[in-house]
């Protein structure tokens, strides 16, 4: 595992992600928009990923009333 982490840290995230299987993004809640993978778009990536995480949590815990932030 530590070897994989070293390999990952040595590559741009965008390039590293291309080495993962097609379902990796869905499993790890990584946005589909490739433009968000560039460092310049990091803030947008975080917002999009937060949305995916929120959607997943709502699906897992539908009875929980969580107010959506605006």
Q: What is the structure's pLDDT at 68?
A: 56
pLDDT string in tens for the chain (70-residue length): 567 766 667 788 888 888 898 899 999 999 999 999 999 999 999 999 999 999 999 999 887 655 655 4
Find tokens 């959506």 and name the residue: 68
Model confidence, pTM: 0.74
| Half-sphere exposure at residue 15, Cβ-oriented, CA atoms within 13 angstroms | 6
Q: What is the structure's pLDDT at 57?
A: 93
Give the count of beta carbons closer than 10 Å to the beta carbon of residue 63. 4
| Half-sphere exposure at residue 7, Cβ-oriented, CA atoms within 13 angstroms | 9
Do residues 14 and 37 make contact, with C-beta atoms less than 8 angstroms apart? yes
Give the count of beta carbons closer than 10 Å to the beta carbon of residue 2. 6
Q: What is the structure's pLDDT at 65?
A: 56
């Amino acid at each position: 595992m530590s070897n994989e982490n070293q390999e990952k840290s040595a590559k741009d995230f965008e390039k590293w992600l291309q080495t993962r299987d097609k379902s990796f993004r869905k499993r790890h809640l990584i946005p589909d928009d490739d433009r968000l993978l560039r460092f310049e778009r990091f803030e947008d990536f975080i917002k999009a990923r937060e949305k995916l995480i929120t959607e997943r949590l709502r699906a897992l815990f539908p009875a929980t009333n969580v107010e959506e932030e605006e």
